[in-house]
Amino acid sequence: MPNPFNPAPGAHPTRIVGREAELAAAREGARRAALRQPATPLVLVGQRGMGKTVLLSAIRAMGGHDALTVAIESLPDRSLADRLRDKVDALLDSAETLPGRAGNALKRVLNVVPKVSFELPHDAGAIALGGAGAADDRHLDHDSLVAMLTALAQAARLAKQYLTITVDEVQDADVRSMQTLTAFIHESAQGDAPILLAIAGLHETRDLIDKLRTYVRRWDEYDLEFLTLAETVEAIREPIVAEGEAIDEDALYRLAEESGGYPYFIAAFASAAWAAHRGKRIKIGDVERTIVDVRRRNEMSFYVRPLAKLTPREMALSLVLADLGPGSHKIGEIARALGRDARDISSIRAALARKGIISSPIPGFAEFSIPFTDRFIREHAVDYRDERVLAAHAELVRAR
């Protein structure tokens, strides 16, 4: 039997559990777009491994034959226009295989897209990177992004489809491209060819949104949280039952407890238990046998390596935050634990955020970006509290 769990990034689970509100909002957007009415864009914000990529692909799939879909993944050093161009080329290729009239109409219209972007001397501009060319590049990026979006919208209209655009890892998108994209979406909402837009990214996405026009703040924003225990149990049991197999209650709850509602951990632990089981039932032994190994692997990539990059001061602060327990904590409270004010620790906090160790899901609060980091640090505090860290801690407290 194939393993119904796959912890690979973006791997589609048998069913997306516990994201009903997000999916309902997306369905409503898709319904409106299909009726040529404006659809409120969706913003999905969440830590690594919370299911952002999986939701974006579910949103793209929602339209079925009614939608022309474009999936963009931002990269820190590439403009959105650049990323979209790759996708448009791919769309042109795949249009060959699209069935029926929709495919033909699509192909006809998309044929003009490369011409539009080729007419823009974008490649020539890209060579003159930096220096005097930089401003021009930005202009060309803007023009070529608008040209591609216009052509895609037109293609969709001719194919009697609506356009769905998703942008993943949006925290890495450049502000200018996002301004262009959001303005385009906003204008299209007033016409007869609305676009369904869904973007997803880490918590820093909110900083990006703050730099865009104020109407972006009226978009539907969702913070992807951990699954509840009931949802976790469902996310583990359902795929097993769907394969015609079963799992003992004690094994099920052990897996649920170990994964703590973190979608990535659910997939990782359940996948290992599935691979270890024989017959048609997963037993507690299968779970216990695999937990240690999976935990070690997770610890290495999620905690050990990232924490090894911290300076003594950053580690001192992390130890304090870990001692406060799981979840978000008031920044003032964290500072007070060091006998300081919130202001005094802001540069250390910024450095920890840059290194991806902590994030700020609510302004004024901070938490570890990866679930169970607090538990890991507490369990290994003796190793982390070395002489340099103790000295940094003492210095922080004393500097007051």
Ligand X SMILES: Nc1ncnc2c1ncn2[C@@H]1O[C@H](COP(=O)(O)OP(=O)(O)OP(=O)(O)O)[C@@H](O)[C@H]1O
Give which of ligand X, Mg ion, none residue 11 binds (C-beta under 5 to 8 Å, depending on kind). Answer: ligand X
Both tokens of 334, joined, read 């964290």
Q: Among 4, 29, 51, 125, which residue interacts with ligand X (rule: CB under 6 A)?
A: 51
Residues 19-48 that bind ligand X (CB under 6 A): 19, 46, 48
Q: Residue 350: what residue type?
A: A
Q: Among 1, 3, 10, 249, which residue interacts with ligand X (rule: CB under 6 A)?
A: 10
Within 10 Å of residue 57's Cβ, how many Cβ atoms?
Answer: 17
Dihedral Cα 328, 329, 335, 336, nearest 10 deg: -160
Q: Among 162, 264, 368, 372, which residue interacts with ligand X (rule: CB under 6 A)?
A: 264
Q: Among 4, 29, 41, 49, which residue interacts with ligand X (rule: CB under 6 A)?
A: 49
Residue nearest to Mg ion according to CB distances in the complex = 53
Smallest distance, Mg ion to C-beta of residue 16, A: 14
Q: Among 267, 310, 320, 334, which residue interacts with ligand X (rule: CB under 6 A)?
A: 267
Q: Among 47, 53, 171, 290, which residue interacts with Mg ion (rule: CB under 5 A)?
A: 53
Rounded Cα gap, residues 162 and 304, in angstroms: 46
User: Number of helices (H) and strands (E), helices first, in the chain?
Assistant: 20, 10
Closest to ligand X by CB, 167 or 315: 167
Distances (CA, A) of 77 to 80, 81, 89, 140, 350: 10, 12, 20, 16, 21
Phi first, then psi, for residue 203 (nearest 5°) are: -60, -25
Closest to ligand X by CB, 13 or 125: 13
Closest to ligand X by CB, 1 or 128: 1
Nearest CA-CA partner of 372 in 341, 327, 335: 327
Does residue 11 touch ligand X according to CB under 6 A? yes
Name the one range near Mg ion by CB under 5 A: 20-28, 52-60, 67-75, 336-344: 52-60
281-282/246-247 β-pairing: parallel
Give the single-character DSSP code of 244.
T
Question: Residue 307: which residues within 8 A CB-CB, separation 6 or more?
Answer: 315, 318, 357, 377, 384
Smallest distance, ligand X to C-beta of residue 271, A: 8
329-330/365-368 β-pairing: antiparallel
Both tokens of 54, joined, read 């999986």
Smallest distance, ligand X to C-beta of residue 90, A: 20
Cα 291 to the center of its chain, rounded Å: 26
Closest to ligand X by CB, 235 or 307: 235
Smallest distance, ligand X to C-beta of residue 79, A: 21
What is the DSSP annotation of 33-44? Answer: HHTT-----EEE
Give which of ligand X, Mg ion, none residue 267 binds (C-beta under 5 to 8 Å, depending on kind). Answer: ligand X
Name the one range near Mg ion by CB under 5 A: 53-61, 153-161, 271-279, 314-322: 53-61
Cα 359 to the center of its chain, rounded Å: 14
Nearest CA-CA partner of 162 in 59, 79, 86, 90: 59
Smallest distance, Mg ion to C-beta of residue 49, A: 8
Residues that contact Mg ion, how many (by CB under 5 A): 2
Both tokens of 20, joined, read 């009903």
Smallest distance, ligand X to C-beta of residue 128, A: 34
Q: Among 54, 152, 156, 273, which residue interacts with ligand X (rule: CB under 6 A)?
A: 54
| Interface with Mg ion (CB under 5 A) | 52-53
| Interface with ligand X (CB under 6 A) | 6-7, 9-11, 13, 16-19, 46, 48-54, 235, 263-264, 266-267
